[in-house]
Amino acid sequence: MSSERGTDDPAELQEALRGFVRAFGLHQPEKTPCGQPIPVSEAHALGELAQDGELRQVELARRLRLTKSTVSRLVGQLTARGWVERAPAPGDGRGVVLRLTPSGERAAGNLAEARREKFSRLLVSIPEHEREGVLHALHVLVEALDE
């Protein structure tokens, strides 16, 4: 970081975030940060479905912060891979419920294991006395983005 710029300089925040995005691999959308050869958006969708068992498609869009049309395409990709199945939402002729197939459950499990390994290594690399501050900073950043 440049000592000429202060913490009130937006360029400083931009540089720090750019460095994080690149170091974490988020600029490589066809591979997860934990090294799995799957688009990041698909990995996030699998994780949400694995967590809840089934979700309405509109709820998946809300959680992923993506538009309905983007999630529709995403679900199409996951369905084509054989990882997700769609069903009509009970009592709602227009709604769609999503569930993982057995193959999707295996893929989600593999992703979860790779994620656990990556974050375990990452956590160990952060000095123990800095961990609370790192987590706090991430929470503050998300809150600021939500405003």
What is the residue extent of each domain of the chain? 23-146
23-146: CATH number: 1.10.10.10
Report the distance separating Cα 38 and Cα 111, nearest Å.
9
Q: Is the pLDDT of residue 64 over 70?
A: yes
**pLDDT tens-digit series, residues 29-40:** 889 989 899 999
Based on the number of CB atoms within 10 Å of its own CB, is 93 exposed (0-12), middle (13-18) or buried (19 or more)? exposed
Q: CB-hemisphere CA count at 13 Å for 105?
A: 7
Report the distance separating Cα 18 and Cα 24, nearest Å.
10
Q: Is the pLDDT of residue 2 over 70?
A: no
Question: If pLDDT is split at 50, 70 and 90, which confidence band does 5 have?
Answer: low
Question: If pLDDT is split at 50, 70 and 90, which confidence band does 4 have?
Answer: low
According to the model, what pLDDT value does residue 1 have? 47
